[in-house]
Structure 1
């Protein structure tokens, strides 16, 4: 279960608007960045929220990875995003791959402010 969980709250993102309101655009970015970092996407589910008038609103999505997952949620009204990238490090250390995905997605979103956290998951047990 040992792994790395990268968590970000991103504020006032200055990216092109379609990245925050278009399911297909956001899904493509997330899946492509996972693949580009050497992670293994097994599937993705992204949901497009709509305003009452039918116009696109925020997006929520998850990329399921063989190594674990990426989750993202957008609030285009304020330009805010939450992003989680979690990888397990069971058969190989995927920490740098996770950091690459995390960094590339943050670069694409261009937040004016952010709160980011690295959480080490699991614990290493000493042999008895």
Structure 2
């Protein structure tokens, strides 16, 4: 039996504030994370808040990768959902390095009704 999708909720702490406040750097890091995970990028949208912080999402054929940053706290919340064929660990390692995060915590959820997997 297998779930329809896997959802990772990740908190990066101790991040470089200047990176988390930079719209272009956050956007580039998220797109690169999607690429290295093997996801198929459909579109993306990011927004810089005043005085600081970035929110955005990369829509992938396999679902989505979203973020909200709090540079003043060195904190980023990332939401990565996939219905398969994506190496989420690779993508998240890319983000951790890009943000120079000192630590991360993860919550993993299986989403959707369980289905029988053919051998």
Q: Which portions of structure 1, spanning 4 or more consecutive aligned residues, are displaced by more than 4 angstroms?
A: none
- 2-side partners of 1:49 and 1:117: how far apart? 26
Number of aligned positions between the proteins: 115
Query: Alignment partner of 1:50: what SS?
Result: coil
The residue number in structure 1 matching 2:28 is 28
Q: Give ranges in structure 1 of 5+ residues lacking alignment.
A: 52-56
> Cα offset for 1:12?
2.2
> Cα offset for 1:62?
0.5
The residue number in structure 2 matching 1:124 is 114
Superposed CA deviations along residues 22-50 of structure 1, whole A, max 9, x for unmatched, are: 11111011112211222111111100011
- 2-side partners of 1:119 and 1:24: how far apart? 30
| Bigger radius of gyration among the two | 1
Q: Give ranges in structure 2 of 5+ residues lacking alignment.
A: none
Going from structure 1 to structure 2, the CA distance change for 1:114 and 1:32 (only over 3 Å counts) comes to closer
Query: Alignment partner of 1:4: what SS?
Result: strand
- 2-side partners of 1:98 and 1:125: how far apart? 21
Specify which of 84, 89, 96 is matched with residue 99 of structure 1: 89
Superposed CA deviations along residues 39-73 of structure 1, whole A, max 9, x for unmatched, are: 1111111000112xxxxx11001000011000111
Pair 1:64-2:49 in alignment: no
Q: Is residue 20–residue 26 contact of structure 2 (8 Å, CA) maintained in 1?
A: yes
RMSD: 1.9
